[in-house]
Structure formats: structure tokens, C-alpha cells
Structure 1
């Protein structure tokens, strides 16, 4: 039985990916900062562990309990929508600590085992906001674009060792906590120049019409990356993500 470890499983993409892999008969190690077993399916193949990707000790403890892993899905992260002029330095640091350096820390913990066994799959979940410039998500976009660049180089480094590496790029999803998690970091509604732009952004986050990405789309894209040896490096997840990637190419 193959084993997948997924970070950031408390909601949205991570939670749906857990469900899909369990349905497919895999052993799933579902991790989150504060475990909530009641939100996950009941299964003998499910292990729920606490994991904070910004804490090296937490990573070491989780991997020690998880045992041998075949597929790593780096999904943990958070967003913030703030004008560059107004973003708090602490918020900018947290975005890179979690989204970029947290991914790097997980890779450095997992890769030695993959390299030694000459097998394994790494899947980094980023975002289609990296494909074109957008207002208000600049630092979030930069943190995810850094993961894209890191992953592209990692794919080259790992190829000689039989380790596959992929990027899954979701589009805009009304089914995630991105908007809610971003709101505490919001700045600029009291600024007459930025207020219209920010209000428009909030409305778009809440709009579930038109092409969007569903959590199930991301789970299917991750499944493809994990199981298809011919899957491309970059895999869009969601109807809007497919459109954006086509436009970017």
C-alpha cells in the first residue's frame, strides 16, 4: 500500500485530497497545525498528525511518526491581499516563512529518503496567481512564484534519482478559506485611493459564478501527479486555471 503525506489538511484542497486518496485505497498521513480528526473520514488507512511547517521540531516529530512516505504533497499555506505600500513587514515574513520556507523545510526532510530509495513523488501546490500580475496579492504571489522556481530546479536535481516532481496550480476557489484567512491582514479600506480596488477584490473572492476551481479539481490534479509517470511538471487544477495557463503559454 502506497503512503501519501499531505500538509494543510484542515480544509479546502488538502481536506478534499485526503478524501480522494483514501477512496483510492492509499494510506494517508493528514497533517495540520491543530489536528481536527472529526472533519476527516473514518478509516483504518488514515493517520492524523500535528505539523507546523515553520517549526523544524514539529516536522521531525511528524515524519518520525509517519514512517516511510511515497508521495509528499506540500499544500500548507495562507494568503494575504494587501497593497504593496501597506503590507505589514511581519505579514510579508509570515507569507514567505509558511509558503516558501515551509515548503523548503519539508523537502529537505523528505528528499534524503526519496533519493536513497531512488523513488518518490513531490507535489507542490502553488497558485495560478503566479501566471500573471494581479493587484493586492503581490507578496503572496511572490511567495508562491518562489516555490514554482524552486520546484522547477528540484525536478532537474531529482531526475537522476528516479524522483518525480510536480507543481499543481489551482485557480480561484470559493470553497477554500483563502478569503477568510486573508481578511485579518487586510489594509487599505480606509484609504480613498485603495478602497475601490480592495472592495472589488473582496467581491471577486465571494463570487462563485463563472469558471472557478473546486477543491475536487485540485484533488484530481494531485492524484494525477502522484500516479501518472507521464504527468507534466505543471498541472492546472480547475477550469479557470486551465484557461489561465493556456493564456500564459
Structure 2
């Protein structure tokens, strides 16, 4: 009998790529999004069900989970993928925007986990996968609020992994790199307009220029889908699944050097003088 996965934020980007990847692997897929009527999946297997889910609405999350169980009998893997991006100078970022980012990227993840945990506990097990970012491994300038929202989920998931282990539930992290044409840019929208004051313009221009000429390739949607599949099917105790060469580079630097070496390398990397 096929296993079932539920994925939030599946209309585009990583979520859609993961949904299609799991369909190809023979899984039942519950692809959730705010407006499923606008989805463009071309599925003929009968193993795909589109469901409305607003990650900022706890009642919507519970309703989607109930509908998913009604459709396929169980939810073996739950993926918190829905998220929004933000690039800004922090001093120019309105408090309301900070709260908006956290409502989706952090509190939405918490609410979804709180809804799916009792379901998995009664089932006798399952896997929860929270999608964060390379910015959840190593902070970068001009994305302080976004980093904070992802670091919150990193710590939350690590704690949850220990807490849920006695119930046969695995909590895991998939950490994509930066994909300019997918989730971060597409889901940032107009909220970034006007959030880089003139005093920051030169620094921001130099920084974004460096990001456009990154020393490794950026991750792809396929690499993220593959990392989600690995996290969903791994019987071991691995917590983090970096996706893409850019994330793996940051992870290697973070976890194989001292804190002083790491921060000095990053400081030079982000210096407008190119490492002086």
C-alpha cells in the first residue's frame, strides 16, 4: 500500500517539485496550498489530492489534515514547506512585516506540527520535515528577519526530534540553498520595496552583486525534492539534510571550523571591499 505525504506550499517551487517527485516514486500526495483551484498539476494516477490550507490559520491546518486522512487513511510524512522571503535593512523593516514573516515561517510551522503530532502518535509513528534554508545554518546580511524566522524553526525542530523519538516520530530539517527563480524571490513579492534606505544602497548593491556571482551553483528544485525524499525515507537518526552545493558549502564551513574562523570568513565574504 502506498505511503502518504502531505506538503504545504505546493502550488509552485520546492513544494510542487517535491509533490511531483513523490508521485513519481509511487506515493500518495496531499498537495496543499491557499488556492488549489489555481494549481497546474497534470496527474492521472489518482494518488494526488489538492487541498486548501492556510498555514497562518490553525483551523485550516486541522481541516486539511482531516481531509487528507479521509482521502488516504493516514499521513506518513508531513512537510512544512510553505514560507515567504524578505530582503531588507533591518532598521527599515516595519514591525508588522517582521510579524508577517514569523506568522508564516515560524508560527505556521509550529501550528502545523502541533496538529499533526497527535495524529502520528496515534498511528504509531511518522516523519515531520521542516524546510528551512541555508540562512538557517549561516546568517547573511540584509535578511535578518528571514534568518531569525528560519533559525527559530531549526532550534524548534532539533528539540522536537528528541521529544518525539519515544513515539516513533522523526522530526527532520531540509535546508535548501538560494534558488533565485523559486521560493524566496517569488514569495517575497512587493513587501521588499523601499526597505533598503539610501545609506545602505552601496553596501546592498555590492552584497547582491556577490550573491549573483556565488562561488558554487545554487540549489535546484530537484535537489530539494531529493533531499525531502531522503529525509522521508531514511531509517537512521540524521537531523539535517542540506540541499544544493551552496548549502553544503555553508554547512561544511559552519560545522568543521571554529566559531571564530567561521565568523571571520563570513565577515570577509560580505565585506564591500571584497575580503579586505
Band of TM-score, shorter chain: over 0.9
Shift of 1:171: 0.7
Match of 2:12 in 1: 11
Q: Does structure 2 retain, via aligned residues, the 8 Å contact 1:19–1:41?
A: no
Superimposed CA distance per residue, residues 116-149 of structure 1 (whole angstroms, 9 cap, x where no aligned partner):
2221001000001122231110011000100000
**Hey, what does 2:135 align to over in structure 1?**
129
Shift of 1:192: 2.5
Please identify the structure whose Cα radius of gyration is greater.
2
Does residue 149 of structure 1 match 2:155? Answer: yes
**Do the aligned residues in 1 keep the contact of 2:92 with 2:195 (CA within 8 Å)?**
no
> What is the TM-score normalised by the length of structure 1?
0.93
Structure 1 Cα separation of the partners of residues 207 and 191 of structure 2: 14
Which of 79, 83, 87 is equivalent to 1:81? 87
Does the Cα contact within 8 Å between 1:82 and 1:185 map onto a contact in 2? no
Alignment of 1:1-249 (within 5 A): 1-36=2-37, 38-43=39-44, 44-67=46-69, 68-188=74-194, 191-203=197-209, 210-230=216-236, 232-249=238-255
* Rounded Cα–Cα distance in structure 1 between residues aligned with 2:30 and 2:186: 26
State the SS of the aligned residue for 1:123.
Answer: strand
The answer to whether the Cα contact below 8 Å between 1:4 and 1:29 also exists between their aligned partners in 2 is: yes
Q: What is the CA–CA distance in structure 1 between the aligned matches of 2:195 and 2:169, rounded to whole Å?
A: 46
The CA distance in 2 between the partners of 1:180 and 1:66, in whole Å, is 27
Structure 1: 5+ residue runs without aligned partners?
none
Are the structure 2 counterparts of residues 174 and 152 from structure 1 closer, same or farther at C-alpha, using a change threshold of 3 Å? same
Corresponding residue pairs, total: 249
- CA drift at 1:165: 1.3
Deviations 1:134-170 (A, max 9, x none): 1110011000100000000000001111111110001
In the alignment, is the contact (CA less than 8 A) between 1:77 and 1:98 conserved in 2? yes
Alpha-carbon distance in 2 for matches of 1:164, 1:187: 39
Cα distance in 1 for residues equivalent to 2:254 and 2:209: 25
